[in-house]
A = this chain, B = another copy of it.
Amino acid sequence: MKSKNIDAYIIPSTDPHLGEYVPDHWRIISWLTGFTGSTATVLVTDSIAGLWTDSRYYLQAGSQLHESGFALINPINSLKHDFLSWFSDNIVSGNNIGLDDRIFSIETIQKLEKSLDQKFVLFDLNCDLISDLWQDRPVMPYSLAFDHLLKYCGKERSVKIDEVRQEMRTRKVDYHLLTSIDDIMWLLNIRGNDLKYSPLLISFAIISEQQILLFTDESKIPLKLASEFDKLDIVILPYEETAGIISTLSKDSTMLLNPVTTSSNLFKSVHSGMNIIKDISIPARLKAIKNSVEIDNIRSIMIKDGVSLIKFFFWLDKKPETISEVSLGEELDRLRSENENFISPSFSTIAAYNDHGALPHYSATAESDYVVDRNGILLIDSGGQYLDGTTDITRTISLGKPTELQKRNYSLVLKGHINLALAKFPVGTRGSQLDILARKPLWENGLNYGHGTGHGVGFCLNVHEGPPSISPATGSDSKTTIQPGMLISDEPAIYREGEYGIRIENLLLCCEDYENESGKFLKFETVSLCYIDKSLIDFTLLNQMEIDWLNSYHAEVYDKLSPFLTEDERLWLGVKTASFISL
Q: Label chain A's interface by main secondary structure.
A: mixed
Q: When the two chains form the complex, which single residue of B423, B429, B435, B518 contacts A446, counting CB atoms closer than 8 Å? A: B518
- Complex formed: what's the CA distance from A434 to B436 in Å? 7
B474 touches A432 (CB 8 A): yes
A426 interface residue, CB < 8 Å from B? yes
Is the CB–CB distance between A433 and B518 below 8 Å? no
Question: Which of B447, B474, B514 lies in contact with A478, CB distance below 8 A?
Answer: B474
Are A444 and B432 in contact, with the CB atoms below 8 A? Answer: no
Residues of B within 8 A of A444 (CB): 424
Query: Which chain B residues lie closer than 8 Å to A521 at the CB level?
Result: 443, 446
On chain B, the residues within 8 Å of A429 by CB distance are 472
> What range describes how many residues of A lie at the interface?
20 to 34
> Which chain B positions have C-beta within 8 A of A436?
425, 433-434, 436-437
Q: A424-B443, A432-B432 are in contact. Are A448 and B478 (CB under 8 A)?
A: no
Q: Are A516 and B446 in contact (CB under 8 A)?
A: yes
Contact B518 A472 (CB under 8 A): no
A residues 446-478 near B (Cβ < 8 Å) are 446-448, 472, 474, 478
Copies of this chain, complex-wide, total 2
- The docked-state distance in angstroms from the alpha carbon of A434 to that of B433 is 8
Q: A446's closest neighbor in chain B, by CB?
A: B516
Residues on B with C-beta less than 8 A from A472 are 428-430, 433
- Are the C-beta atoms of B474 and A514 separated by less than 8 Å? no
| Cβ 8 A contact of A443, one of B425, B443, B448 | B425
Chain B residues with Cβ under 8 A from A94's Cβ? none
- Bound: A554/B425 CA distance, A: 31
* A435 cross-chain contacts in B, Cβ below 8 A: 433
Chain B contacts for A433, CB-based, 8 A? 432-433, 435-436, 472
Scan A379-390; emit 1 where CB is below 8 A from any B CB, else 0: 000000000000
Excluding A424-B443, A474-B478, 5 further A-B contacts by CB distance (< 8 Å) are A424-B444, A425-B436, A426-B448, A430-B474, A432-B474
Please name 13 pairs of A and B residues whose Cβ atoms are closer than 8 Å in the assembled complex, sorted by A.
A424-B444, A424-B446, A428-B472, A430-B474, A433-B435, A436-B437, A437-B440, A446-B514, A446-B518, A446-B521, A447-B518, A448-B519, A474-B474
